[in-house]
Homo-oligomer: A and B are copies of this chain.
């Protein structure tokens, strides 16, 4: 998606170690109208999958997921990283490594909001190694739901996450793909 790519070219920072800083428009400060446009694009690309619910992970996935949900008219559930007191004792929980925290984090969804038979569309900010996304896939499958699609704003192709998703037979859409971040570069690839 051209608008997102241009924003990364202008403001994205390569911090080394494969970390792309996009805190000025996605991860700390959010450009809500850009996220709305990204949500519209995901909605268009995924509109024929029959999704009944969108699933994301707090925190950075919320803005693009909520915008996609608005365009598709679907509810969105965000997996929590700690269990609030409003959640029942019996939950769906899985562990996934966090890129920016350097440790495992919990992903928790209440069975109240993820049920068997649902067709789940996963939307997140990044697709890197795919570890968080696979955690969301496990949560959905544990609930007896089917994952019908996976969308991410930015794919870091060199971390290889896409292969794991496609091995599961799940279609993957990313809006911007980055092929190389060595030596301070941010090189873009043609989008899949």
CB of A86 to closest CB in B, whole Å = 4
Inter-subunit contact A32/B66 (CB<8 Å) = yes
Docked pose: A80 CA to B99 CA in angstroms: 16
Inter-subunit contact B100/A78 (CB<8 Å) = no
A2 sits at the interface (CB 8 A) = no
The complex is assembled from copies of this chain, and their number is 2
A binding-site residues for B, Cβ under 8 Å: 15, 19, 21, 23-25, 27-33, 35-36, 58-59, 62-63, 66-67, 69-70, 73-78, 80, 82, 84-87, 100-102, 109-110, 112-113
Q: Which residue of B lies closest to A53 (CB)?
A: B29
CB within 8 A of A29: which of B15, B23, B59, B113? B113
Q: CB-CB < 8 A to A58: which residues of B?
A: 58-59
Q: CB-CB < 8 A to A77: which residues of B?
A: 28-30
Say whether, besides A59-B62, A80-B28, A87-B23, A36 and B113 are in contact (CB < 8 Å). Answer: no
